[in-house]
Amino acid sequence: MSLPTPRSSPAPEAADAAPRGRCVEGRDFMLRAATPADLERLLEIETAVFDADRISRRSFRNLLSAPSALIVLAETVEAPAGGPLLGYCALLFRRSTGLARLYSLAVAKTAAGRGVGRALLKAAERGAYERDRFALRLEVREDNAPAIALYRSEAFRPVGRYLDYYADRMSALRFEKTLRGERPLETGVPYYHQTTDFTCGACCLMMALARDVPGVVLDPVLEIRLWREATTVFMMSGPGGCEPYGLAVAAHEFGLDAEIHVSEPGDLFLEGVRSPEKQKVMALAQEDFRRRAEGYGIPVHIRPFQIDDLRAAIAAGATAVVLVSGYHMFDKKVPHWVLAHGDDGRHIVVHDPWVEDERGETVADAASLPIPYAVFDRIARFGKVGLRAAVFLSPRPGRARPPARA
């Protein structure tokens, strides 16, 4: 679904008690989940509150029917089914993760000072918590002082800034609140959004290099170079994706220690390629990677890695480029690579280089995603054989070198 840039309307109200059920104690309004019948009222408040970056009719319709979204309304107790809304908030829940995102929060100008914004924010937190989400994230205009004050007063912490984020080129501040456990991990691994449909593996490797190898610059030139050096040449359609031996070889040549974990010996990803000629070329390319990996002395484990293996590697300071099913991440049956870089005791924390622009996602939805152990164990496989593959990457003190420019 196509959604505009997320934002918050000004919300200059004092502290309020959290809403209980449908009603907010001591206030003249109540909260409830929106239904398709509320579409016209949502459009009315959207037009009245926001001058730009408005959610369209089509997008609201999609949000109201999507299982990965929730809209909460604030309306008067006297006329819950009629009259203009006092406010609403919209949440997005990224599939297979422990993350929720406050996509939009709007308060009618006539409702200022009544506690509507704070009540909706608390409802958003509760909705995210009830779906077992680890953290709630949001973006807000840098010049929206009332909304920023509200978020800070509710223990949201600033975690980033995006330049030229809104239609008028205003920057956005990103905030996050931990809903379970301790404060999110800070691993020092920068995030990079892939610029093509096929460079997820290269982007994961580049992010790992950026933390552990001096002089690495995150840019599309290096993205394509790493893809060229680790690709399988062909895939089911279009350009090929990266494969574990190629990623390990490229990582070694750029200054990291690599360790390959793969559940199947021999050639990989061939079952999705119909052309015998393409299969032959892929097999030769992969044989070259295997020979080079052996020549470099890169350890290879022909067995499915376990979550405990991954946790132990992360605890030792490593990152891991891990193969997952794209179907579980964004509804596409394609192999996909993510970078595992953190472990909070309940979740594997990953950078997913793919951002679903058509679903209104931003970097905030793809960076440092907390994925529950059981979910990660389920999605970290691909194809009918359940191929399991990962490349564990560790710093190599004293031997790293800045990469040459392509």
Query: Domain map of the chain by residue range?
Result: 7-178, 200-395
Q: How far, in Å, CA of 357 to CA of 4, rounded?
A: 10
The pLDDT assigned to 20 comes to: 34
Q: Return the minimum-mean-pLDDT range out of 172-176, 187-191, 246-250, 329-333.
A: 329-333
Q: How far, in Å, CA of 157 to CA of 151, rounded?
A: 8
Average pLDDT, rounded, for the chain: 84
Q: How far, in Å, CA of 58 to CA of 306, rounded?
A: 43
Length of the chain: 406
3-class DSSP assignment, residue 253: helix
The pLDDT assigned to 38 comes to: 93
The pLDDT assigned to 312 comes to: 96
Task: State the DSSP string of 128-180.
Answer: HHHTT-SEEEEEEETT-HHHHHHHHHTT-EEEEEETT-STT---EEEEEEE-S
Higher pLDDT: 83 or 329? It is 83
Q: What is the pTM of this model?
A: 0.68
Q: Give whichever of 34-43, 128-137, 237-246 has the largest mean pLDDT.
A: 34-43
User: Whose CA is closest to 224, among 256, 254, 199?
Assistant: 199
The pLDDT assigned to 163 comes to: 81
User: Whose CA is closest to 91, among 102, 105, 80, 78?
Assistant: 102
The pLDDT assigned to 1 comes to: 32
3-class DSSP assignment, residue 400: coil
Contact 125, 134 (CB under 8 A): no
Band (pLDDT 50/70/90 cuts) for residue 326 is low
3-class DSSP assignment, residue 373: helix
Q: Give 163: exposed, middle or buried? Use CB within 10 Å, 0-12, 13-18, 19+.
A: exposed
The pLDDT assigned to 367 comes to: 83
3-class DSSP assignment, residue 47: helix
**The domain at 7-178 falls in which architecture?**
3-Layer(aba) Sandwich (3.40)
Q: Give whichever of 95-99, 238-242, 380-384, 395-399 has the largest mean pLDDT.
A: 380-384
In CATH terms, are 7-178 and 200-395 the same topology? Answer: no
Q: Give whichever of 72-86, 98-112, 181-195 has the largest mean pLDDT.
A: 98-112
Neighbours of 263 (CB within 10 A): 18
Contacts of 273 (CB under 8 A, 6+ apart): 234, 235, 236, 279, 282
Indicate if the pLDDT at residue 302 is higher than 90: yes
Q: How far, in Å, CA of 36 to CA of 18, rounded?
A: 26
The pLDDT assigned to 359 comes to: 59
The pLDDT assigned to 369 comes to: 84
Contact 236, 272 (CB under 8 A): yes
Indicate if the pLDDT at residue 185 is higher than 70: no
Instruction: Please give the share of the chain, as a percent, with pLDDT higher than 70.
Output: 84
Q: Return the minimum-mean-pLDDT range out of 141-155, 266-280, 282-296.
A: 266-280
Higher pLDDT: 15 or 283? It is 283
The pLDDT assigned to 37 comes to: 92
Q: How far, in Å, CA of 202 to CA of 353, rounded?
A: 10
pLDDT digit string, tens, across residues 337-393: 999 999 988 889 999 998 876 556 677 778 888 888 988 999 998 877 889 999 999
Band (pLDDT 50/70/90 cuts) for residue 12 is very low
Its CATH class, for the domain covering 200-395, is alpha beta
pLDDT digit string, tens, across residues 91-129: 998 777 778 999 999 999 988 888 999 999 999 999 998
The pLDDT assigned to 363 comes to: 74
pLDDT digit string, tens, across residues 196-227: 989 999 999 999 999 999 999 999 999 999 99
| Residue 389, CA distances (Å) to 3, 144, 322, 324, 392 in order | 34, 45, 6, 8, 10
238-251: average pLDDT: 89
Indicate if the pLDDT at residue 244 is higher than 90: yes
Indicate if the pLDDT at residue 25 is higher than 80: no
3-class DSSP assignment, residue 77: coil
The pLDDT assigned to 69 comes to: 93
Distance of alpha carbon 300 from the chain centroid: 29
Band (pLDDT 50/70/90 cuts) for residue 5 is very low
The pLDDT assigned to 183 comes to: 57
Q: Give whichever of 6-10, 176-180, 224-228, 265-269 has the largest mean pLDDT.
A: 224-228
